[in-house]
A = this chain, B = another copy of it.
Amino acid sequence: MPKTAQPTINDVARVAGVSKKTVSRVLNRAPSLTDNTRRRVETAMGELGYSPNPQARALALGRTFLIGLVHDNPSAQTVMNIQQGMLEAIHDTEFEMVVRPVERGSPTMLDDLRRFFERQRPFGVLLMSPVSENPAVVRLCEEIGCRYMRIGSVVEGAPEHLVTSNDREAVREATEHLIALGHRRIGLVMGPSGFGSARERQLGFEEALRSADIPLPPSLVAQGNYLFDSGVVAAYRLLDAMPRPTAIFASNDEMAAGVIHAACQRGLDVPRDLSVVGFDDTAIAAHIWPPLTTVRRPITAMAQAATIKLIKSVARSDAADVSARYPSTLIRRASTAAPRQ
């Protein structure tokens, strides 16, 4: 049974000829240490291939080295991008990522989260929109004393816990792109009510129209829920408007795919008969036909930055630049063109 017995802190102490507390100090970068001692200990650690036992540290410290991803985001691709950013940040560290999906609107959601915090005692959590916009969840983190970072589209709340994108400006720019192409009847598929991102994108859309003195009758606004099917339904409604819109902005890519889907089923050609713009630049955007003009949000970079800040917040608190907003950019593909005369 070569049950690879890992060396412990005691082995290192013995080999280095010091006490285990000294080894502990080296591990935790305590200031008061002779360079000589530190070297001896580090050499011993190298020889033995020592790495500290996270479980023992967790027990002693009262918290684990788990970073939780708390989300109720409906977009699979967005979740994967966030996970990728987190994993890049914790690569080669002692931290691990655990995923905690929560059910939006569930009455037990807060209790579930509280149990997660109390039992797992995670090092910290990333709160992803839309749950990141729930004040009760933020309060829970504060009360429990769990580090947290919020990722969202709305600048609201303590900036040191916030990483945001500038959805409003980005959507305004995207809408201006449609206006510049010559569109005047532009429909909007909104995100679900109560989502800060949905509101921000709606505001950006409306701002662009207002600046160009373009009216927005109710018949050109439809409600969606960020899922494909809701985009289909919304598009049918918008395409029934008389006169028909020549362009539609959908508040995320999945719904935009639904809009294209509905247009195709109506026998309309995208972009000749209808231009479509989405938001997120998820994988589907480049893969559908025609390729979707959309807004790319640097969500992976945002998640990575938020995770790094979470980890660093214990070591040093100089990672203030992380809270800068992350700009989105318009990706122009084939789903937008000038309207037919």
Mark A residues whose CB is within 8 Å of B.
Answer: 2-4, 6, 51, 53-56, 58-59, 64, 66, 76-77, 79-80, 83-84, 87, 94, 96-99, 101, 115, 118-121, 143-145, 228, 254, 257-258, 260-261, 264, 283-284, 286-291
Contacts and interface: CB of A to CB of B under 8 A. Distances in A.
B94 A96 contact: no
Contact of A287 (B6, B96, B120, B258): B258
B98 A98 contact: yes
Contacts of A64: 55
A264 B288 CA distance: 10
Contacts of A283: 76, 228, 284
Contacts of A79: 80
A56 B59 contact: yes
Contacts of A53: 59, 119
Nearest to A289: B264
A117 B115 CA distance: 27
B121 A55 contact: yes
A118 B4 contact: yes
Nearest to A253: B287
A334 B289 CA distance: 15
Contact of A228 (B55, B58, B101, B287): B287
A54 B120 CA distance: 7
Given A80-B79, A99-B97, A264 B290 contact: yes
A302 to B, nearest CB: 17
A222 B193 CA distance: 47
Nearest to A261: B289
Query: Which 9 A-B pairs give the minimum distances between C-beta atoms?
Result: A55-B58, A76-B80, A264-B289, A96-B98, A55-B59, A257-B287, A288-B288, A59-B59, A228-B287
Nearest to A4: B118
Contacts of A66: 96, 98
